[in-house]
Amino acid sequence: MDGVMASDRPPGTEGRRGGPLIVTEDEELLDDLLRLCAAAGTEPEVCHGVPDRKGGWESAPLILVGDDAAPRLLGSARRRGVLLVGRDQDDPGVWQAAVELGADHVLRLPDAEPWLVDRIADAAEGVGRPALTVGVIGGRGGAGASTLACALAVTAARSGQRTMLIDGDPLGGGLDVLLGGEQADGRRWPDFAASRGRVAGGALEESLPRLHQLRVLSWDRGDSVVIPGEAMRAVLAAARRRGGVVVVDLPRRVDDAVVEALAQLDLGLLVVPAELRAVAAANRVASAVGMVLRDLRAVVRGPYASGLDEQWVADALGLPLAGELPVESGLLEAQEGGAPPGSAPRGPLARFCTAFWGQALAGGLAGGAVS
């Protein structure tokens, strides 16, 4: 999957705003613009002048005007999102035409192609507030990071948030298994390993298994255990553009893919059992992660070794305390019965996650732990 992943659904569905309007009679330029729209995963409307249909000029999310067509459009209603596109680098008249047309930018192909693909895709998808993106990392093996990641995603989805759960740990056994969906139809990480550049957010979301009201990107049962850094960057950026919340379960090692993921997180949660050896191991993880991620916080899990409490653990790591992860009995039995972590709304784990999202989505975690 090299480049952009296109959706089979027509423009205008699932929150998409439709493709751009192309205005040109230059067949060579039109071929290039159609190719760029296809790369952005959208289908444009093509006209030789101002559209005949009422509101066509005003309602298009983006208008690509060939420099051959600019004189025919003078006098059109001024609006944002008009780009004047051509090939002649030395034509001084194009700048005057851009001013008279009220164009936002003057673009020259092929140099501007990468930028233009991104702009077309943004306009088609409708770019709003990016997803609140939270990474969960275990301070040591068996700390419970995957359990917390799943519970956070389940509770966010149950509250009505658009939610995507991304499994960034190829050796973790698969979050789809933890959610009881290992047989669910949909794409897994090996399908995205060759991703480069821009992945269409809507098509990504539609392609993934839907489990417990959320979308999950996990692993298949094959031998592939490597996520290239470019693939992680492209996929996570696409997920964030959809808005809502994104939860990423990350391994303790920091490789190229993890660095790319950390760079896009708004907040990281380091899950640490309250015992001295776990704190020592978590300190090494925190040091490595903290080189990339500015906002890393401790989530402390009991039972507590003698003389320790959650604030002592956070202080020993030099991290803000995000909260105390409660013990929930019967979690394994519930999972074997098909109930994922966090599925019991009144359970202690779900209450912790609900309180976390309540503060995080309201911007209320700047000062301290989940209360």
pLDDT higher than threshold 50 for residue 1:
no
- pLDDT for the residue numbered 127: 63
- pLDDT for the residue numbered 151: 96
- pLDDT for the residue numbered 3: 37
pLDDT higher than threshold 60 for residue 34:
yes
Instruction: Report residue 17's pLDDT band, with 50, 70 and 90 as the boundaries.
Output: low
∠ Cα 17 20 26 (to 5°)? 170
Q: Give pairs for 80-86: CB < 8 Å, separation 24+.
A: 80/104, 81/123, 83/107, 83/116, 83/119, 85/24, 85/29, 85/33, 85/109, 85/112, 85/116, 86/29
- pLDDT for the residue numbered 324: 93
Instruction: Report residue 198's pLDDT band, with 50, 70 and 90 as the boundaries.
Output: confident
Give me the torsion for CA of 34, 38, 42, 46, rounded to 10°.
Answer: 10
* Structure confidence by residue, pLDDT tens digits, 220-259: 887 767 889 999 999 999 999 889 999 999 999 999 999 9
* Dist CA 109 CA 87 (whole Å): 5
Report CA-CA distances (Å) from 282 to 244, 249, 288.
Answer: 29, 16, 10
Helices 229-241, 256-264: inter-axial angle, 10-degree rounding:
20
pLDDT higher than threshold 50 for residue 14:
no
Give backbone dihedrals phi and psi of 4, rounded to 5 degrees, phi first: -105, 140
Length of the chain: 371
* Dist CA 254 CA 59 (whole Å): 46
- pLDDT for the residue numbered 114: 87
Per-residue pLDDT averaged across 67-80, rounded? Answer: 91
* Dist CA 341 CA 350 (whole Å): 8
Phi-psi region of 38 (alpha: psi -120 to 50; beta: other; left: phi over 0): alpha
* Structure confidence by residue, pLDDT tens digits, 295-315: 999 999 988 888 899 999 999
The whole-model pTM stands at 0.75
Q: Tell me which residue has tokens 């002592």.
A: 312
- pLDDT for the residue numbered 284: 96
Contact between 63 and 23 (Cβ < 8 Å): yes
- Find all residues with CB under 8 Å of 294, minimum gap 6, and list them: none
∠ Cα 135 140 145 (to 5°)? 35
Mean pLDDT of all residues in the chain? 88
Instruction: Report residue 6's pLDDT band, with 50, 70 and 90 as the boundaries.
Output: very low
- pLDDT for the residue numbered 365: 64
Per-residue pLDDT averaged across 187-211, rounded? Answer: 88
* Structure confidence by residue, pLDDT tens digits, 148-196: 999 999 999 999 999 999 999 988 888 998 898 988 999 999 999 888 7
Instruction: Report residue 264's pLDDT band, with 50, 70 and 90 as the boundaries.
Output: very high
Contact between 61 and 79 (Cβ < 8 Å): no
User: By CB neighbour count within 10 A (0-12 exposed, 13-18 middle, 19+ buried), where does 129 fall?
Assistant: exposed
User: By CB neighbour count within 10 A (0-12 exposed, 13-18 middle, 19+ buried), where does 8 fall?
Assistant: exposed
Lowest mean pLDDT among 7-21, 268-282, 321-335: 7-21
State how beta strands 210-211 and 214-217 pair.
antiparallel
Instruction: Report residue 87's pLDDT band, with 50, 70 and 90 as the boundaries.
Output: confident
